[in-house]
Chain A
């Protein structure tokens, strides 16, 4: 999934075909579309609204809105970007209407900006020779058989770890690492800076790595 750095990706020929098919009433194409994007849309919606139930409603409303807006799709952005922008607008509107929405100040996520690796794993700052170095370093996974990492259960653990992240970290890691969005695309959609996005990605990835390490080390033991 490539994208130009500065601008939104314009609609691909595939995007235009999809829109045409939808306008012609092709139900199969619509089903494929909702299957591809809905889970991600729910995660993004959860950055703005509090409960999953409300997020699901927002996503439903978004799809209705997408259908109604199809005549206005001009292909100046990719179809995906266009859909998610409608979603983001719907989510923000809904959040404003809801009495208790998730304030943007919590975008950094709980835990603020503390260390992402348990400090106990490092030697103290007062260590005479190796301050701040690993006390219990991570093991290399290079010797691990390929199928271990590719196994379904490994993927499940990673998915679980992602699902347990705070909403904004979860959304960013899902868009970036699971779905393959570029940094620019994520920042544009969520209207956050590169720096903010990187912090969310960093914290999310650190937790997922830790969960994966626990799982794999447990198997190796």
Chain B
């Protein structure tokens, strides 16, 4: 199993179409392991099943076929707002540790207005703020922290194990 963020109504991001209803297979499936979820944050979160030639491309899992299994109801406006607020707090903390810095000032200003719709951006800014203070490693750690936050809040399978199977013709 893996997870996929989608737009409202299971809209496939950037593909201009929607996932079919849960249970129905589709081609060119994209999803993520738990550890990579933060960069893909969007309106809805789904458990997905992948099949056939599953492979990693950076933070994305790609497979010949996939289908939605069920929606992760815990990911709603409240969760997104909480995530954004948590990132905003991280940004303020990083800002406090950094000296006078135009970039950090801009990040902190941005953080002041993060709402539930900005959860993805909040994570991005937090990672950049971390990088500004702690370097590249800091950004990696911040993203890991964000992933752990999501996993705990939403009770996601931490191993993000995917069970690829030999493609069964449907």
Contact = CB atoms under 8 A, between A and B. Distances in A.
Interface of A: 127-130
A130 B103 CA distance: 8
B107 interface: yes
B152 interface: no
Best-surrounded residue of A127, A129, A130 (most CB of chain B within 10 A): A129
B102 interface: yes
Interface of B: 101-103, 105-107, 110, 128
A97 B110 CA distance: 63
Contacts of A127: 106
Nearest to A130: B106
A128 B101 CA distance: 9
A88 B106 CA distance: 56
Contacts of B103: 128-129
13 contacts: A127-B106, A128-B101, A128-B102, A128-B103, A128-B105, A128-B106, A129-B102, A129-B103, A129-B106, A129-B107, A129-B110, A129-B128, A130-B106
Contacts, number: 13
A-B residue pairs, 6 tightest by C-beta: A129-B106, A128-B102, A128-B103, A129-B103, A128-B106, A129-B107
Nearest to A128: B102
Given A128-B101, A129-B128, 11 more contacts: A127-B106, A128-B102, A128-B103, A128-B105, A128-B106, A129-B102, A129-B103, A129-B106, A129-B107, A129-B110, A130-B106
A132 to B, nearest CB: 14
A130 B128 CA distance: 10
B139 to A, nearest CB: 14
A82 B102 CA distance: 62
A129 B106 CA distance: 6
A127 B103 CA distance: 8
Contacts of B105: 128
A130 B105 CA distance: 12
Nearest to B125: A129
Contacts of A130: 106
A113 B32 CA distance: 36
A127 B101 CA distance: 12
A129 B124 CA distance: 12
Contacts of A129: 102-103, 106-107, 110, 128
A130 B107 CA distance: 9
Nearest to B108: A129
A128 B100 CA distance: 12
Contacts of A128: 101-103, 105-106
A210 B128 CA distance: 32
B4 to A, nearest CB: 20
Nearest to B107: A129
B127 to A, nearest CB: 13
Nearest to B129: A129
A129 to B, nearest CB: 3
Contacts of B110: 129
Nearest to B106: A129
A127 B128 CA distance: 14
